[in-house]
Structure 1
Amino acid sequence: MHSLNQPSTSDYHDAPPAKQHRLPTLLTAAVAMVASHGAAHAQSNVQIYGLIDSAIVLESGGPKGRITKLESGVSNGSRLGFKGEEDLGGGTSAFFLLESGMLVDTGGMDQGGLLFGRQGYVGLRQKDIGALYMGRVYVPIYQTLTTIDPMANQYAGAAGQLMSGAKAGARQNNTVMFISEEMQGWTTQLAYGAGEVAGNAAASRQLGGSLTYSRGDFTARIGYNQTNNATATDSAHNTLMIAKYNFGPVIAGLGYAINHGIGSIDSRDSIAALTIPLGKHTLMATYIDKNDRATSHKYRAHQYAGAYSYALSKRTALYASFAYLSNTNFTTTRFGSGNREYDLGMRFSF
């Protein structure tokens, strides 16, 4: 598969490590431990939850011709999670979340074989102030993207295929993050990801933040992310501004991103999104334009995508999606090669 920038570490199917046979054992032990804790301390409100997603995927337009395959996590990443919260009194509560990504089609682990690769954090929440998270979390700029993207960087038309803020990585390790409570429509989010390089605190460091204003049917948000390289001699900067409005039958949104570094990266991303909820039916559409202005490899890419979801119940849904990518240099689809993709799948949550 070709890549337009850096490979994403979101719900994309990172290759598992060579030695992963111990992971199922560790996961089983984690399930038993959390389940036991929940039974003994029900007042702590520990929950086990999950989602299973699988789809038939057809890709075409690539140099090797058409390919049909079964994929996991096409509309939503398949997962098994544990979460809990405890009231400490005085408006303060402690909480945690551990979420493991799974590949339903092979039985392996997602996110490169990490046990809790989707998320893993512990934190404190204070009423009327906000919450402090510590661990592996979604970065603010990625959450800014999913605020406007009805497909949440999933389905055939995953936004991260073109948008640099999503391709840089949905999640951040070694992070302390604060999310404020809403105050007159405003919410603030700040994140610091330690690079953990001895003698150089700036090396591999990641900083992020967002500011959101939401009133009634209108939402506007700006997100920022900075990632330093391993020697702190260069850094990538991504800024994404979005706005959306709920017109009733249609939810419409627009977004614009400015991306600089590492190296010669200099691009602008634009996204337009529509969501039409009709009871059990949901229609989604996005158009993404990427203008790569780097002198070494200028190109312009456009992605047209649509998706349809039908809720059989509160837990079960069927879906279909498609995407077409036009690129002046080369073509690529969500997980493989080609410039067209069609998905037909099912998801079940518990």
Structure 2
Amino acid sequence: MRWPAKVAGISLLALVGVGPGMAHAQSSVTIYGIVDSGFTYTSNQGGKSLIQATAGNQQGSRWGFKGTEDLGDGLHAIFRLENGFDTYSGALKQGGRLFGRGAWVGLSSDTWGAVTAGRQFNPVQDYLSNDGVGNFTQFGNILYDNDDLNNTFRSDNSVKYTSPRIKGLQAEALYAFSNDTSAANNRSWSVGAQYANGPLRIDAAYALLDHPGLNTTGAIPSDNYYPTSVVSNVQRQEIWGVGGAYTIGALTVALLHTQSNFEMPTGNKDFSNYEASAQYWATPAWQLGVGYDFTTVHQSASGNAKYHQIGGNASYYLSKRTDLYLNVIYMHGSGGAAWINGLSNPSSTGIQTAAIAGILHRF
């Protein structure tokens, strides 16, 4: 049997005979990725200024495979395997996992939606990440990435249902198993919905994590959860949010509110986050972005804190696949040290500024 294939750097196509007298099923596998490298200047990390070679600044570097097989009658087998890596060291990201950014397989129906199983994003990440400042630079994400829109963790052992889009409305539901004799030891579930119609998009989602980070085998593995300097021994975490965006010609404006509550034996820690951003295509080659984040932290065991963050981005597209970027982020904290998301260390004061420049290529 001959397997006709077209290889153009990113795509393989094959027509496979499934058996005598049976219809042929069309399959496709796509190889894709992002390579992002640059340099970061920080005004204060641990009391000193710092210049670093940093990777994955605009978007995390990755390569992956995604595929589909037409099973007939509107039914498809689908899968995705996605690796994350550091361009400067070549090291694996996401705790050294081969496919740490995602690994799942499932079935998709034109009529009934899709069911997928594996390591994947929850509905909070799928929907709300579209509306935050981090949508155009990861350094624009809110303090500690407390709402996980910068994908500090993913959901292992998970099964997710995604509905078909009907009159602009789509919904998702995910359950991630603890894989423990006690079901409450590191499990998670999440639901969300999106309405998209023309220039308008509205998103809402909720996630519950039960004893997250308790081990490496449950829904939220400990080696992908928050560092102990942020939270430790979390009994329960809730994340919810609402957001949306509106596009007028070359301009897109977005608003987002998220709430992230941590329950711990030492006391609760609650984050309220508010974001506003705008992206504008000044020319077909120049994209400009600006965003503002405001976070309040309520801590039962210690004082409260407030954080203001302003960020700007300019991207110049050398082609559809390659762009040069410059990001500038400023954070001011009251009641706690400033720590811009994506930097390796916090400031020794309530103020921190970062400037990031680099190149990003998609394939």
Shift of 1:87: 0.1
Larger RCO (CA under 8 A, 6+ residues apart): 1
Output the aligned Cα RMSD: 2.3
5+ residue gaps in structure 2?
A: 1-8, 17-25, 215-232
Contact 1:194 1:206 in 2 (8 A): yes
**Residue equivalent to 1:291:** 296
Separation (CA, whole Å) in 1 of partners of 2:276 and 2:142: 11
Aligned ranges for residues 194-233 of structure 1 at < 5 Å?
194-198=177-181, 200-229=182-211
Aligned ranges for residues 250-265 of structure 1 at < 5 Å?
250-263=251-264, 264-265=268-269
Query: Structure 1 residues 142 and 40 mapped into 2: Cα distance closer, same or farther (>3 Å)?
Result: closer
**Residue equivalent to 2:353:** 340
Shift of 1:164: 2.9
Amino acid in structure 1 at the alignment position of 2:260: N
Shift of 1:160: 5.8
Q: Deviations over 1:191-223 (max 9, x none)?
A: 10111112x112211111111112221111111
**Partner-residue secondary structure (3-state), 1:109:** coil
Separation (CA, whole Å) in 1 of partners of 2:234 and 2:49: 43
Q: Does 1:276 align with 2:289?
A: no
Q: Deviations over 1:84-112 (max 9, x none)?
A: 11000000000111011010011111111
Separation (CA, whole Å) in 2 of partners of 1:239 and 1:124: 28
Query: Structure 1 residues 236 and 44 mapped into 2: Cα distance closer, same or farther (>3 Å)?
Result: same
Contact 2:125 2:151 in 1 (8 A): no
Contact 2:13 2:28 in 1 (8 A): no
Q: Does 1:331 align with 2:314?
A: no
Separation (CA, whole Å) in 1 of partners of 2:13 and 2:295: 51
Aligned ranges for residues 237-252 of structure 1 at < 5 Å?
237-252=238-253
Once structures 1 and 2 are overlaid, which stretch shifts more, 86-95 or 329-338?
329-338
Q: Give identity over the alignment, percent.
A: 26
**Partner-residue secondary structure (3-state), 2:45:** coil
Separation (CA, whole Å) in 2 of partners of 1:314 and 1:97: 23
Separation (CA, whole Å) in 2 of partners of 1:150 and 1:299: 21
Separation (CA, whole Å) in 1 of partners of 2:46 and 2:142: 23
Separation (CA, whole Å) in 2 of partners of 1:178 and 1:153: 27
5+ residue gaps in structure 1?
A: 1-34
Structure with higher Rg: it is 2
**Partner-residue secondary structure (3-state), 2:166:** coil
**Partner-residue secondary structure (3-state), 1:254:** strand
Separation (CA, whole Å) in 2 of partners of 1:109 and 1:332: 24
Aligned ranges for residues 1-350 of structure 1 at < 5 Å?
43-149=26-132, 151-152=134-135, 154-159=137-142, 161=144, 163-166=146-149, 169-198=152-181, 200-229=182-211, 234-263=235-264, 264-278=268-282, 279-295=284-300, 296-328=302-334, 329-333=336-340, 334-337=342-345, 338=347, 339-350=352-363
Bigger fraction of residues in helix: 1
Separation (CA, whole Å) in 1 of partners of 2:358 and 2:192: 33
Shift of 1:133: 1.1
When normalised by structure 2's length, the TM-score is 0.81
**Partner-residue secondary structure (3-state), 1:148:** coil
When normalised by structure 1's length, the TM-score is 0.84
Aligned length: 314
Separation (CA, whole Å) in 1 of partners of 2:276 and 2:165: 26
Once structures 1 and 2 are overlaid, which stretch shifts more, 280-289 or 253-262?
253-262
Amino acid in structure 1 at the alignment position of 2:285: K
Separation (CA, whole Å) in 1 of partners of 2:137 and 2:95: 18
Query: Structure 1 residues 319 and 233 mapped into 2: Cα distance closer, same or farther (>3 Å)?
Result: closer
